[in-house]
Amino acid sequence: MSTTRRLTIVGDLAGEYVLDEELPDGRLLIRPEAAYPAVLTPGTGRALSDEEFAAFLTEHESDMLPPDGEG
């Protein structure tokens, strides 16, 4: 199983990156991590309205797990 390794760079090239490969000489091959909106194909979804989100929680909240470290 492969695990995606991510890193944050500060400075002139600040942002979130994904490590593609670690070379034998210590160099890293990295690429920018696509931001969430960039991952969506236009027209594939939309944000829920406040009312829709409340209805979703009412229907499914009992099936949701608590956040890590709680409960």
> Which pLDDT tens digit goes with each residue over 51-66?
999 999 999 988 887 7
Write down the pTM of the prediction. 0.45
pLDDT at 3: 82
pLDDT at 2: 62
Does 68 reside within a domain?
A: no
Does 29 reside within a domain?
A: yes
Does 22 reside within a domain?
A: yes
pLDDT at 42: 67
Mean pLDDT over 32-51 rounds to: 75
Residue 31 belongs to what domain range? 5-63
The SS3 call for residue 29 is strand
CB crowding 5-21: b at 16 or more within 10 Å, else e: eeeeeeeeeeeebeeee
Which amino acid, 65? Answer: L
d(CA 3, CA 22): 13
Residue 15, pLDDT > 80, answer yes
